[in-house]
Copies of this chain bind each other. A is one copy, B any other.
Protein backbone atom coordinates (compact mmCIF):
# COMPACT_ATOMS: atom_id res chain seq x y z
CA UNK A 1 0.00 0.00 0.00
CA UNK A 2 1.49 3.33 -0.95
CA UNK A 3 2.44 5.97 1.54
CA UNK A 4 -0.35 8.50 1.75
CA UNK A 5 0.06 11.63 -0.34
CA UNK A 6 0.57 14.49 2.06
CA UNK A 7 1.61 18.09 1.80
CA UNK A 8 5.25 19.07 2.23
CA UNK A 9 4.09 21.77 4.61
CA UNK A 10 2.37 19.20 6.81
CA UNK A 11 5.39 16.93 7.27
CA UNK A 12 6.73 16.69 10.75
CA UNK A 13 10.40 16.23 11.42
CA UNK A 14 11.52 12.78 10.52
CA UNK A 15 8.19 11.77 8.99
CA UNK A 16 8.53 10.07 5.62
CA UNK A 17 5.73 10.62 3.13
CA UNK A 18 4.85 11.12 -0.51
CA UNK A 19 4.13 14.66 -1.63
CA UNK A 20 4.09 16.85 -4.70
CA UNK A 21 6.49 19.77 -4.98
CA UNK A 22 7.79 22.36 -7.34
CA UNK A 23 11.52 22.70 -8.00
CA UNK A 24 11.84 26.40 -7.22
CA UNK A 25 15.61 26.83 -7.29
CA UNK A 26 18.66 24.97 -8.61
CA UNK A 27 22.14 26.43 -8.28
CA UNK A 28 25.51 24.95 -9.04
CA UNK A 29 27.85 25.79 -6.14
CA UNK A 30 31.18 24.87 -4.57
CA UNK A 31 31.90 24.33 -0.88
CA UNK A 32 34.65 26.24 0.81
CA UNK A 33 36.92 23.31 0.34
CA UNK A 34 36.22 23.11 -3.35
CA UNK A 35 33.57 20.41 -3.48
CA UNK A 36 30.99 21.04 -6.20
CA UNK A 37 27.29 20.41 -5.59
CA UNK A 38 23.83 21.53 -6.60
CA UNK A 39 21.69 23.38 -4.14
CA UNK A 40 18.03 22.66 -4.93
CA UNK A 41 14.84 23.89 -3.30
CA UNK A 42 11.43 22.23 -3.38
CA UNK A 43 8.27 24.02 -2.36
CA UNK A 44 4.56 23.77 -1.93
CA UNK A 45 2.36 26.74 -1.27
CA UNK A 46 3.39 27.12 2.37
CA UNK A 47 6.90 25.79 2.76
CA UNK A 48 10.20 25.63 0.94
CA UNK A 49 12.87 23.07 1.87
CA UNK A 50 16.21 22.41 0.20
CA UNK A 51 19.03 19.93 0.06
CA UNK A 52 22.46 19.63 -1.51
CA UNK A 53 22.95 17.14 -4.31
CA UNK A 54 26.58 16.04 -4.19
CA UNK A 55 28.48 14.91 -7.25
CA UNK A 56 28.44 11.33 -6.00
CA UNK A 57 24.71 11.27 -5.25
CA UNK A 58 22.57 8.86 -7.30
CA UNK A 59 20.42 11.89 -8.10
CA UNK A 60 23.37 13.92 -9.45
CA UNK A 61 22.86 13.05 -13.07
CA UNK A 62 19.13 13.68 -13.16
CA UNK A 63 19.61 16.85 -11.26
CA UNK A 64 22.21 18.18 -13.67
CA UNK A 65 20.58 17.09 -16.89
CA UNK A 66 16.86 16.70 -16.34
CA UNK A 67 15.54 18.80 -13.51
CA UNK A 68 14.50 22.33 -14.45
CA UNK A 69 13.28 25.11 -12.25
CA UNK A 70 9.50 25.23 -12.56
CA UNK A 71 9.10 21.46 -12.95
CA UNK A 72 6.78 19.56 -10.62
CA UNK A 73 7.81 16.33 -8.91
CA UNK A 74 6.35 13.60 -6.80
CA UNK A 75 8.76 12.85 -3.96
CA UNK A 76 8.99 10.31 -1.20
CA UNK A 77 11.14 12.00 1.39
CA UNK A 78 11.51 13.09 4.96
CA UNK A 79 12.49 16.43 6.46
CA UNK A 80 15.46 16.29 8.82
CA UNK A 81 16.97 18.94 11.05
CA UNK A 82 20.63 19.59 10.21
CA UNK A 83 23.24 22.15 11.17
CA UNK A 84 22.18 24.01 8.07
CA UNK A 85 18.50 24.00 9.04
CA UNK A 86 15.80 21.60 7.79
CA UNK A 87 16.79 19.52 4.76
CA UNK A 88 15.05 16.94 2.65
CA UNK A 89 16.25 13.39 2.53
CA UNK A 90 14.88 12.01 -0.72
CA UNK A 91 13.98 8.37 -1.16
CA UNK A 92 12.27 8.59 -4.51
CA UNK A 93 11.60 11.36 -6.93
CA UNK A 94 9.95 11.44 -10.34
CA UNK A 95 8.34 14.10 -12.49
CA UNK A 96 4.64 14.57 -11.96
CA UNK A 97 2.54 12.54 -14.39
CA UNK A 98 -0.90 13.27 -15.75
CA UNK A 99 -2.40 10.58 -13.61
CA UNK A 100 -1.23 12.34 -10.45
CA UNK A 101 -4.19 14.67 -10.79
CA UNK A 102 -6.41 11.93 -9.41
CA UNK A 103 -4.20 11.86 -6.29
CA UNK A 104 -4.87 15.50 -5.83
CA UNK A 105 -2.00 17.10 -7.74
CA UNK A 106 -2.72 20.65 -8.83
CA UNK A 107 0.09 23.02 -9.88
CA UNK A 108 -1.46 25.78 -7.77
CA UNK A 109 -0.80 23.72 -4.64
CA UNK A 110 2.89 24.43 -5.09
CA UNK A 111 2.86 28.18 -5.51
CA UNK A 112 3.00 30.76 -2.71
CA UNK A 113 -0.56 31.80 -2.06
CA UNK A 114 -2.40 34.53 -0.28
CA UNK A 115 -3.37 33.77 3.29
CA UNK A 116 -6.93 34.50 2.24
CA UNK A 117 -9.22 32.32 0.18
CA UNK A 118 -9.44 33.67 -3.40
CA UNK A 119 -13.03 32.52 -3.77
CA UNK A 120 -14.11 34.40 -0.67
CA UNK A 121 -12.22 37.52 -1.66
CA UNK A 122 -13.76 37.38 -5.12
CA UNK A 123 -17.19 36.98 -3.57
CA UNK A 124 -16.71 39.94 -1.26
CA UNK A 125 -15.58 42.13 -4.13
CA UNK A 126 -18.55 41.13 -6.27
CA UNK A 127 -20.90 41.75 -3.36
CA UNK A 128 -19.35 45.17 -2.77
CA UNK A 129 -19.95 46.10 -6.39
CA UNK A 130 -23.52 44.94 -6.19
CA UNK A 131 -24.30 46.78 -3.01
CA UNK A 132 -22.29 49.94 -3.37
CA UNK A 133 -22.36 50.91 -7.03
CA UNK A 134 -25.69 52.62 -7.62
CA UNK A 135 -25.32 53.33 -11.33
CA UNK A 136 -26.61 50.23 -13.07
CA UNK A 137 -24.54 50.29 -16.26
CA UNK A 138 -21.35 51.02 -14.32
CA UNK A 139 -22.06 48.25 -11.82
CA UNK A 140 -22.75 45.81 -14.63
CA UNK A 141 -19.55 46.82 -16.40
CA UNK A 142 -17.47 46.08 -13.32
CA UNK A 143 -19.21 42.77 -12.65
CA UNK A 144 -18.90 41.65 -16.25
CA UNK A 145 -15.20 42.40 -16.32
CA UNK A 146 -14.78 40.31 -13.18
CA UNK A 147 -17.00 37.48 -14.43
CA UNK A 148 -15.29 37.30 -17.78
CA UNK A 149 -11.88 36.98 -16.15
CA UNK A 150 -12.91 35.03 -13.06
CA UNK A 151 -10.51 32.12 -13.41
CA UNK A 152 -7.51 34.27 -14.15
CA UNK A 153 -8.32 36.73 -11.36
CA UNK A 154 -8.49 33.96 -8.75
CA UNK A 155 -4.85 33.11 -9.41
CA UNK A 156 -3.38 36.46 -10.43
CA UNK A 157 -0.65 38.00 -8.23
CA UNK A 158 -0.70 41.77 -7.68
CA UNK A 159 2.81 42.19 -8.99
CA UNK A 160 5.75 40.18 -10.24
CA UNK A 161 7.76 41.08 -7.18
CA UNK A 162 7.53 43.72 -4.48
CA UNK A 163 3.99 43.41 -3.16
CA UNK A 164 1.33 40.69 -2.96
CA UNK A 165 3.38 38.53 -5.35
CA UNK A 166 1.41 35.35 -4.73
CA UNK A 167 -1.56 33.41 -6.02
CA UNK A 168 -4.58 35.47 -5.05
CA UNK A 169 -2.42 38.53 -4.51
CA UNK A 170 -4.39 40.59 -7.00
CA UNK A 171 -7.63 39.90 -5.14
CA UNK A 172 -6.03 40.47 -1.74
CA UNK A 173 -4.60 43.83 -2.75
CA UNK A 174 -7.75 44.86 -4.61
CA UNK A 175 -9.97 43.92 -1.72
CA UNK A 176 -7.85 45.94 0.72
CA UNK A 177 -7.95 48.94 -1.57
CA UNK A 178 -11.67 48.58 -2.13
CA UNK A 179 -12.46 48.35 1.56
CA UNK A 180 -10.43 51.47 2.28
CA UNK A 181 -12.15 53.20 -0.60
CA UNK A 182 -15.60 52.35 0.70
CA UNK A 183 -14.63 53.93 4.00
CA UNK A 184 -13.12 57.02 2.40
CA UNK A 185 -15.95 57.45 -0.09
CA UNK A 186 -18.47 57.49 2.71
CA UNK A 187 -16.43 59.79 4.90
CA UNK A 188 -15.75 62.36 2.24
CA UNK A 189 -19.23 62.25 0.73
CA UNK A 190 -20.54 63.19 4.16
CA UNK A 191 -17.84 65.79 4.66
CA UNK A 192 -18.31 67.66 1.42
CA UNK A 193 -22.01 67.50 0.62
CA UNK A 194 -21.84 70.65 -1.53
CA UNK A 195 -18.93 69.69 -3.74
CA UNK A 196 -19.38 70.36 -7.42
CA UNK A 197 -19.30 68.01 -9.23
CA UNK A 198 -20.42 65.86 -6.28
CA UNK A 199 -18.05 63.17 -5.09
CA UNK A 200 -19.02 60.02 -6.97
CA UNK A 201 -18.87 57.01 -4.68
CA UNK A 202 -19.71 54.66 -7.53
CA UNK A 203 -16.63 55.76 -9.38
CA UNK A 204 -14.40 55.32 -6.36
CA UNK A 205 -15.58 51.74 -5.82
CA UNK A 206 -15.42 50.87 -9.51
CA UNK A 207 -12.00 52.50 -9.76
CA UNK A 208 -10.72 50.60 -6.73
CA UNK A 209 -11.89 47.28 -8.17
CA UNK A 210 -10.47 47.94 -11.63
CA UNK A 211 -7.35 50.02 -10.95
CA UNK A 212 -4.97 47.12 -11.54
CA UNK A 213 -7.14 45.10 -13.93
CA UNK A 214 -4.50 45.57 -16.64
CA UNK A 215 -2.27 43.16 -14.73
CA UNK A 216 -4.33 40.48 -16.48
CA UNK A 217 -2.48 41.41 -19.65
CA UNK A 218 0.75 42.81 -18.22
CA UNK A 219 1.69 39.69 -16.31
CA UNK A 220 2.04 36.15 -17.57
CA UNK A 221 1.82 33.74 -14.69
CA UNK A 222 2.80 30.12 -14.77
CA UNK A 223 3.95 27.54 -12.31
CA UNK A 224 7.49 28.71 -12.93
CA UNK A 225 6.70 32.21 -11.78
CA UNK A 226 5.36 35.49 -13.03
CA UNK A 227 6.85 37.36 -15.96
CA UNK A 228 5.92 40.45 -17.94
CA UNK A 229 4.28 39.81 -21.28
CA UNK A 230 5.67 41.61 -24.30
CA UNK A 231 2.75 44.03 -24.26
CA UNK A 232 3.25 44.44 -20.53
CA UNK A 233 6.79 45.60 -21.19
CA UNK A 234 6.03 47.84 -24.16
CA UNK A 235 2.66 49.26 -23.12
CA UNK A 236 2.09 48.59 -19.40
CA UNK A 237 -0.84 47.65 -17.20
CA UNK A 238 -2.19 51.16 -16.85
CA UNK A 239 -2.97 51.43 -20.54
CA UNK A 240 -3.92 47.78 -20.78
CA UNK A 241 -6.39 48.12 -17.91
CA UNK A 242 -8.07 51.03 -19.66
CA UNK A 243 -8.25 48.84 -22.80
CA UNK A 244 -10.11 46.13 -20.90
CA UNK A 245 -12.64 48.66 -19.66
CA UNK A 246 -13.13 50.27 -23.06
CA UNK A 247 -13.51 46.94 -24.78
CA UNK A 248 -16.11 45.78 -22.28
CA UNK A 249 -17.90 49.15 -22.36
CA UNK A 250 -18.10 49.29 -26.16
CA UNK A 251 -21.70 49.30 -27.26
CA UNK A 252 -23.15 49.64 -23.78
CA UNK A 253 -25.44 52.35 -22.52
CA UNK A 254 -22.96 53.84 -20.14
CA UNK A 255 -22.78 57.56 -19.51
CA UNK A 256 -19.90 58.95 -21.56
CA UNK A 257 -18.60 61.27 -18.85
CA UNK A 258 -18.80 58.55 -16.22
CA UNK A 259 -16.80 56.22 -18.41
CA UNK A 260 -14.23 58.93 -19.07
CA UNK A 261 -13.90 59.57 -15.35
CA UNK A 262 -13.43 55.86 -14.73
CA UNK A 263 -10.76 55.63 -17.41
CA UNK A 264 -9.05 58.57 -15.76
CA UNK A 265 -9.01 56.80 -12.39
CA UNK A 266 -7.11 53.95 -14.04
CA UNK A 267 -4.79 56.20 -16.02
CA UNK A 268 -3.91 58.35 -13.00
CA UNK A 269 -3.74 55.76 -10.25
CA UNK A 270 0.05 55.75 -9.97
CA UNK A 271 -0.01 59.55 -9.68
CA UNK A 272 3.52 60.35 -10.89
CA UNK A 273 4.65 60.16 -14.49
CA UNK A 274 7.83 58.36 -13.44
CA UNK A 275 5.63 55.68 -11.84
CA UNK A 276 3.77 55.23 -15.13
CA UNK A 277 0.76 57.55 -14.96
CA UNK A 278 0.68 59.87 -17.96
CA UNK A 279 -1.77 62.13 -16.11
CA UNK A 280 -1.90 63.01 -12.40
CA UNK A 281 -5.20 62.52 -10.54
CA UNK A 282 -7.42 65.35 -11.78
CA UNK A 283 -10.53 64.27 -9.93
CA UNK A 284 -11.04 63.61 -6.21
CA UNK A 285 -12.09 60.06 -7.06
CA UNK A 286 -8.78 59.34 -8.79
CA UNK A 287 -6.95 60.88 -5.87
CA UNK A 288 -8.69 58.69 -3.31
CA UNK A 289 -8.04 55.49 -5.27
CA UNK A 290 -4.38 56.45 -5.63
CA UNK A 291 -3.87 56.92 -1.91
CA UNK A 292 -5.68 53.75 -0.92
CA UNK A 293 -3.71 51.78 -3.52
CA UNK A 294 -0.32 53.26 -2.73
CA UNK A 295 -0.65 52.77 1.02
CA UNK A 296 -1.71 49.13 0.69
CA UNK A 297 1.13 48.30 -1.69
CA UNK A 298 3.77 50.10 0.37
CA UNK A 299 2.59 48.60 3.63
CA UNK A 300 2.74 45.12 2.16
CA UNK A 301 6.30 45.81 1.09
CA UNK A 302 7.27 47.03 4.55
CA UNK A 303 5.78 43.94 6.16
CA UNK A 304 7.82 41.77 3.81
CA UNK A 305 10.98 43.78 4.33
CA UNK A 306 10.69 43.54 8.12
CA UNK A 307 10.04 39.82 7.84
CA UNK A 308 12.87 39.05 5.47
CA UNK A 309 15.70 41.45 6.27
CA UNK A 310 18.68 39.58 7.66
CA UNK A 311 20.86 42.48 8.78
CA UNK A 312 21.72 43.31 12.39
CA UNK A 313 20.87 46.39 14.36
CA UNK A 314 17.84 48.48 15.20
CA UNK A 315 17.01 49.13 11.55
CA UNK A 316 16.96 46.99 8.42
CA UNK A 317 19.40 47.38 5.58
CA UNK A 318 18.51 49.76 2.75
CA UNK A 319 18.90 47.08 0.12
CA UNK A 320 15.23 46.41 -0.43
CA UNK A 321 12.63 47.48 -2.99
CA UNK A 322 11.97 50.72 -1.11
CA UNK A 323 15.65 51.69 -0.83
CA UNK A 324 15.39 52.83 2.77
CA UNK A 325 15.78 51.39 6.24
CA UNK A 326 12.88 50.38 8.46
CA UNK A 327 12.86 50.27 12.23
CA UNK A 328 12.82 46.91 13.94
CA UNK A 329 12.54 48.09 17.51
CA UNK A 330 14.96 48.59 20.37
CA UNK A 331 16.43 51.78 21.76
- Given A187-B180, A230-B330, A276-B278: A306 and B196 interface contact (C-beta under 8 Å): yes
Nearest CB in chain B to that of A268: its residue = B234
Q: Which residue of B lies closest to A257 (CB)?
A: B331
Listed stretches A8-16, A27-35, A81-89, A141-149; interface member: A27-35
Chain B min CB distance to A20 (Å): 26
Q: What are the residues of chain B within 8 A of A187 when measuring CB–CB?
A: 176, 179-180
Contact assessment for A235 and B264 in the assembled complex, using a CB-CB cutoff below 8 Å: yes
Q: Which residues of B contact A324 (CB under 8 A)?
A: 280, 282
Residue of B nearest to A232 (CB): B314
Which of A94-102, A126-134, A283-291 faces chain B?
A283-291
- List CB contacts (< 8 Å) of A26-45 with chain B: 28, 30, 32-36
Residues B239 and A329 in contact, CB atoms below 8 Å apart = no
Stretch at the interface among A46-54, A104-112, A293-301: A293-301
A277 contacts chain B at the CB level, 8 A cutoff: yes
Within 8 A of B (CB), among A255-312: 256-257, 260-261, 263-264, 267, 272-280, 282-284, 287-288, 291, 294-295, 298-299, 302-303, 306-307
A319 within 8 A of B: no
Contact of A260 among B33, B196, B267, B331 (CB under 8 A): B331
Bound-state CA distance A113–B17 (Å) is 62
Instruction: State the CA gap A230–B260 with chains docked (Å).
Output: 8
Contact status of A331 and B256, CB under 8 A, knowing A30-B34, A303-B195, A315-B233: yes
Q: CB < 8 Å: which of B288, B302, B314 contacts A287?
A: B302
By a CB distance below 8 angstroms, the chain B residues around A197 are: 306, 328-329
A138 to chain B, nearest CB (A): 16
Known contacts A32-B36, A34-B34; decide if A330 and B257 are in contact (CB<8 Å). yes
**Minimum CB–CB distance for A287 against chain B, Å:** 6
The chain B residue sitting closest to A276, CB to CB, is B278
Q: How many residues of A contact B (CB 8 A)?
A: 74
State how many angstroms separate the Cβ of A53 from the closest Cβ of chain B: 14
A267 to chain B, nearest CB (A): 6
CB-defined contacts of A196 to chain B, threshold 8 Å: 306-307, 328
Cα of A184 to Cα of B235 in the assembled complex, Å:
25
Q: Is the CB of B246 within 8 A of A234?
A: no
Tell me whether B180 and A331 are in contact (CB under 8 A). no
Q: Give me 19 A-to-B residue pairs in the complex whose CB atoms sit less than 8 angstroms apart, sorted by A's number.
A: A30-B32, A33-B36, A176-B187, A180-B184, A195-B307, A197-B328, A197-B329, A228-B315, A229-B314, A234-B260, A234-B282, A236-B267, A239-B239, A243-B246, A280-B324, A282-B324, A283-B326, A283-B327, A291-B295
